[in-house]
Structure 1
Amino acid sequence: MGEDANNKMSREERLAARLRENLRRRKARSRGMRAGESGDSGLSKPDAKS
């Protein structure tokens, strides 16, 4: 049973690390979107000039 507790703890630590990385990525993306927010949606669209 001791091994199960160790495996579970390492799994929880791995999950916690992944959640922290994901949060950092999301915050960085959000900051990037706010910094580049100048009236456009952030999506590149072809010009509709004919």
Structure 2
Amino acid sequence: MVLGIRPEQIANEHFDLVAVGSGFGSAFFLHAFAKQRKARILVLEWGR
């Protein structure tokens, strides 16, 4: 888990899946997706 990163720190990274929001539905889907394969997942969340 990475917290407090700046956009330019990940601008050149590649991800297999990008999820917007970390609600219950997203968490359930991401858990199932990650179990099926080794994947790089980026979760974007509005934070304070």
Is the TM value for this pair above 0.5? no
Greater relative contact order: 1 or 2 (C-alpha under 8 angstroms, separation 6 or more)? 2
Larger relative helix fraction:
1
Choose 1 or 2 for highest CA Rg.
1
Larger relative strand fraction:
2
TM-score, normalised via structure 1 length: 0.30
